[in-house]
């Protein structure tokens, strides 16, 4: 029973995974199609770079036209490398190991021989028997046998010691298994120099030849290891062809070396082409995977804008990639990685821009074969530019980032040129191209951001700066039609942006969102207290229910106006959420006084609730600014109590439950609100009137 349950559960889980994958695929079909399009844009030029027009050429064929290298390429000349390795192997000496047991064995054989010789000569056998034994011992050498048969036995001990010394010296020097005859000859030469009879020397030579053995034994395995070490120590012979070099001239026969170059360039197909194809797909997949992860984790991406954000990413990468291929023909220092970094930063965030820049550099290293120092220079300088853009408060910051990034790129290019011992002209070109790359990238990025943020209705920094200009059309209209609301929005903006900066939220987005959060009041400005300074309160003539409807409708009117004016969704969110689902309390209580059967839900704003820290801050700032005007003789304690009550009410009412704001954030927001309100409500000292007529 347990097995069946587990089996059923596993199948159920597996089905869920498949079903979830299908659901995810269907819900993200447009982003997936866009990514596939980007993959095609990347892969096609790579294939063209690595597999240009195919030529069916072999060694000895005549080149139909001049063939020029379309890219830098390096390959290992295997034949020349092996030839060099064989030359180096010839210098390797065979490895031998010393067999010390051979020394004892040889000396024992010498001792045995002379012991046998003495035994025969000193035996009591008759002369014939002795002679037969000597001939048997000396392999029928009658001359030596007769000499010792009738000679003095006292010389044998001296000959024994002499040969023992000769053999010992030979073994001490080492007798190689393949050089035994050479060692024997050395021993014979030593014997020849002895002061002895010829027959005695012949005896010693005979014994030496029959007893000597090699004690240096050839070690085949160790020798092969040494040979492999020598081979590995040989650096492969790398042939490098630069882009633009003539590989083969028209009408000339193709040589062996030229065939190798053509294969490396992909002009002639080889059996290893699948490796290049696999590499192209691998590089592309790695880039897209890293970029996709970075985009999904970006704080500006959510399910509602994933299609738009993917489209922006595809357009940016496609343009920069195609431009990179063309500009690299001029100089690798012109590859527009800085442009990519600035654009991705403008439409996403710093972590996403950093990840995509690194991944894109990795991707370009394959088709463009960019060298590591150049890639390092571009990446470091791009990061410098992005750090400057993080504090962007005006359009000119883009140009400032381009200039500083260009100067850092120029400095690194100068260092690379000097360390590589390039000519001064080339160094000057590299330095100039590096600076132009960044400054030009900043100018182009400005233009592209302006076009794309209007095309996609994006809340980029540049768009926010544009919308945050108090002379913007909607803000001018708000000032004219609802001056009190305009003034209220400016104060809310100051309150909210200061608090956002304190907790690390997007202060610029918060400020601009606060500017526009009440634009819906332009439709019926005099229904709102801040615009009623010189007229009676209209609500005195209306029922609470009608008043409530007009008040609540300013949110709907604001959203309508925002869409009509093509405000970014991020700004529209401030309009939609700045009241959340709070109650229009004044008219709720007024209605309750006249009619006890009143539901709170009828007097609530429709929502939605704030979804992030920025919109949550504006909700709180809006309530704080409105209630702040009701505080008489405001001081620190009264303002703090008022701010505390508003934050507590919003939290208890669940208005902040869908935002990512924390209690620590709320404490810092409260502190910021109190300080800002104190500066707004401060009183001036009264000074005595001065008689400007000059009379005392």
Q: What secondary structure, in 3-state letters, does 431-459 show? A: HHHHHHHHHHHHHHHHHHHHHHHHHCCCC
Are the C-beta atoms of residues 269 and 56 closer than 8 Å to each other? no
Evaluate if residue 682 carries a pLDDT over 60: no
Lowest mean pLDDT among 6-10, 63-67, 479-483, 584-588: 6-10
Residue 376 is predicted with a pLDDT of 76
Q: Is 85 helix (H, G, I), strand (E, B) or coil?
A: helix
Evaluate if residue 448 carries a pLDDT over 80: yes
Evaluate if residue 18 carries a pLDDT over 70: no
Signed CA dihedral, 331, 332, 333, 335: sign only: positive
Evaluate if residue 392 carries a pLDDT over 70: no
Q: Return the closest-CA partner of residue 515 out of 552, 488, 544.
A: 488
pTM of the model: 0.63
Residue 45 is predicted with a pLDDT of 76
Alpha-helical segments (H) within 123-154: 127-137, 142-149
Residue 275 is predicted with a pLDDT of 67
Q: How far apart are CA 444 and CA 197, in angstroms?
A: 107
pLDDT, tens only, 330-370: 777 888 888 998 898 888 888 898 899 888 888 877 655 55
Token output for 543: 């029922």
Evaluate if residue 511 carries a pLDDT over 80: yes
Between 127-137 and 101-122, two packed helices, what is the crossing angle to 10 degrees? 160
Q: Return the closest-CA partner of residue 474 out of 507, 514, 515.
A: 515
Evaluate if residue 695 carries a pLDDT over 60: no
Evaluate if residue 646 carries a pLDDT over 90: yes
pLDDT, tens only, 158-192: 888 888 888 888 888 888 877 888 888 888 888 88
Q: Which of the four pLDDT bands, split at 50, 70 and 90, describes residue 15?
A: low
Q: How far apart are CA 32 and CA 26, in angstroms?
A: 9
Residue 689 is predicted with a pLDDT of 44
Evaluate if residue 52 carries a pLDDT over 60: no
- How long is the chain? 696
Q: How far apart are CA 457 and CA 443, in angstroms?
A: 21
Q: How far apart are CA 241 and CA 159, in angstroms?
A: 74
How are beta strands 246-248 and 238-241 bridged, if at all?
A: unpaired
pLDDT, tens only, 253-281: 666 666 666 666 566 655 555 666 777 78
More confident residue, 175 or 519: 519
Residue 260 is predicted with a pLDDT of 67
Q: What is the mean pLDDT of the chain?
A: 80
Phi, psi of 565 (to 5 degrees): -90, 0
Token output for 556: 């709907």
Evaluate if residue 628 carries a pLDDT over 60: yes
Residue 696 is predicted with a pLDDT of 37
157 burial via Cβ count (<10 Å: 0-12, 13-18, 19+)? exposed
The set of residues, in sequence order, having a beta carbon less than 8 Å from that of 89 and lying 6+ positions away, is 227, 230, 231
How are beta strands 67-68 and 246-248 bridged, if at all?
A: antiparallel
Q: Which of the four pLDDT bands, split at 50, 70 and 90, describes residue 6?
A: very low
Q: What is the mean pLDDT of residues 402-429?
A: 84
Q: How far apart are CA 129 and CA 124, in angstroms?
A: 10
Q: Which of the four pLDDT bands, split at 50, 70 and 90, describes residue 424?
A: confident
More confident residue, 340 or 251: 340
Q: What is the mean pLDDT of residues 301-309?
A: 83
The highest-level CATH class for domain 468-680 is: mainly alpha
Q: Count of CB atoms within 10 A of residue 557's CB?
A: 18
Please state the separation of Cα 671 from the chain's center in Å.
41
Q: How far apart are CA 591 and CA 611, in angstroms?
A: 31
The set of residues, in sequence order, having a beta carbon less than 8 Å from that of 166 and lying 6+ positions away, is 187, 190, 191, 204, 208
Are the C-beta atoms of residues 71 and 49 closer than 8 Å to each other? yes
Evaluate if residue 3 carries a pLDDT over 50: no
pLDDT, tens only, 61-111: 666 666 666 556 666 777 777 777 788 887 778 888 888 888 888 888 888
pLDDT, tens only, 520-576: 999 988 888 887 776 777 776 777 788 888 889 999 999 999 999 999 999 999 999
Lowest mean pLDDT among 22-31, 345-354, 461-470, 625-634: 22-31
Q: Which of the four pLDDT bands, split at 50, 70 and 90, describes residue 417?
A: confident
Q: Is 62 helix (H, G, I), strand (E, B) or coil?
A: strand
Evaluate if residue 4 carries a pLDDT over 50: no
More confident residue, 674 or 400: 674
The ranges assigned to domains in the chain are 96-218, 273-448, 468-680
């Amino acid at each position: 029973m347990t097995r069946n349950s587990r089996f059923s559960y596993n199948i159920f889980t597996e089905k869920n995974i498949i079903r979830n994958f299908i659901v995810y695929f269907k819900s993200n079909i447009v982003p997936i199609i866009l990514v596939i399009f980007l993959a095609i844009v990347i892969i096609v030029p790579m294939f063209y770079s690595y597999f240009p027009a195919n030529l069916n050429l072999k060694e000895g064929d005549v080149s139909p036209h001049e063939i020029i290298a379309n890219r830098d390429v390096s390959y290992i000349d295997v034949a020349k490398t092996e030839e060099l390795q064989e030359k180096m192997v010839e210098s390797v000496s065979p490895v031998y190991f010393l067999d010390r047991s051979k020394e004892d064995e040889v000396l024992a054989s010498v001792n045995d021989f002379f012991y046998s010789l003495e035994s025969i000569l000193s035996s009591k056998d008759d002369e014939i028997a002795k002679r037969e034994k000597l001939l048997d011992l000396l392999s029928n050498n009658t001359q030596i046998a007769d000499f010792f048969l009738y000679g003095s036995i006292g010389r044998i001990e001296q000959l024994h010691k002499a040969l023992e010394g000769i053999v010992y010296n030979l073994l001490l020097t080492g007798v190689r298994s393949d050089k035994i005859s050479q060692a024997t000859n050395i021993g014979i030469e030593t014997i020849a120099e002895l002061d002895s009879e010829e027959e005695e020397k012949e005896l010693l030579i005979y014994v030496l030849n029959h007893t000597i053995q090699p004690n240096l034994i050839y070690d085949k395995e160790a020798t092969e290891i040494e040979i492999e070490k020598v081979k590995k120590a040989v650096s492969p012979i790398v042939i490098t062809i630069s882009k633009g070099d003539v590989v083969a001239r028209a009408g000339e026969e193709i040589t062996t070396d030229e065939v190798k170059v053509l294969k490396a360039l992909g002009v002639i197909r080889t059996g290893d082409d699948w490796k290049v194809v696999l590499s192209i797909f691998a590089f592309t997949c790695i880039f897209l995977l890293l970029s996709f992860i970075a985009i999904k984790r970006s704080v500006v991406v959510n399910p509602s804008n994933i299609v738009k954000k993917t489209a922006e990413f595809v357009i940016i990468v496609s343009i920069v990639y195609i431009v990179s291929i063309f500009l690299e023909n001029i100089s690798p220092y012109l590859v527009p990685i800085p442009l990519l970094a600035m654009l991705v930063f403008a439409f996403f965030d710093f972590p996403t821009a950093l990840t995509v820049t690194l991944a894109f550099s990795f991707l370009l290293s394959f088709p463009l074969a960019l060298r590591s120092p150049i890639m390092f220079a571009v990446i470091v300088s791009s990061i410098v530019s992005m750090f400057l853009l993080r504090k962007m408060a005006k359009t000119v910051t883009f140009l400032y980032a381009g200039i500083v990034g260009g100067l850092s790129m120029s400095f690194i290019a100068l260092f690379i040129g000097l360390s590589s011992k390039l000519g001064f002209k080339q160094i000057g070109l590299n330095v100039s191209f590096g600076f132009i790359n960044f400054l030009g990238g900043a100018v182009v990025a400005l233009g592209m951001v302006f076009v794309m943020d209007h095309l996609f209705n994006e809340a980029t920094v540049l768009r926010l700066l544009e919308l945050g200009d108090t002379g913007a059309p909607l803000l001018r209209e708000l000032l004219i039609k609802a001056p009190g609301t305009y003034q209220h929005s400016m104060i809310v903006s100051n309150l909210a942006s200061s608090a956002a900066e304190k907790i690390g939220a997007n202060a610029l987005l918060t400020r601009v969102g606060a500017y526009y959060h009440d634009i819906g009041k332009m439709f019926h400005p005099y229904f709102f207290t801040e615009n009623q300074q010189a007229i009676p309160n209209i609500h005195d003539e209306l029922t609470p229910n009608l008043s409530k409807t007009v008040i609540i409708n300013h949110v709907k009117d604001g959203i309508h106006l925002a869409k009509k004016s093509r405000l970014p969704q991020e700004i529209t969110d401030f309009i939609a959420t700045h009241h959340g689902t709070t109650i229009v309390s004044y008219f709720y209580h007024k209605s309750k006084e006249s009619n006890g059967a009143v539901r709170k839900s009828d007097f609530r704003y429709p929502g939605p609730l704030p979804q992030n820290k920025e919109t949550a801050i504006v909700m709180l700032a809006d309530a704080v600014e409105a209630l702040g005007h009701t505080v008489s003789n405001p001081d620190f304690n009264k303002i703090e109590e008022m701010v505390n009550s508003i934050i507590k009410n919003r939290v208890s009412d669940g208005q902040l439950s869908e935002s990512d704001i924390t209690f620590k954030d709320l404490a810092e927001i409260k502190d910021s609100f109190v300080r800002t309100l104190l500066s707004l409500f401060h009183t001036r000292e009264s000074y005595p009137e001065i008689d400007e007529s000059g009379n005392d």
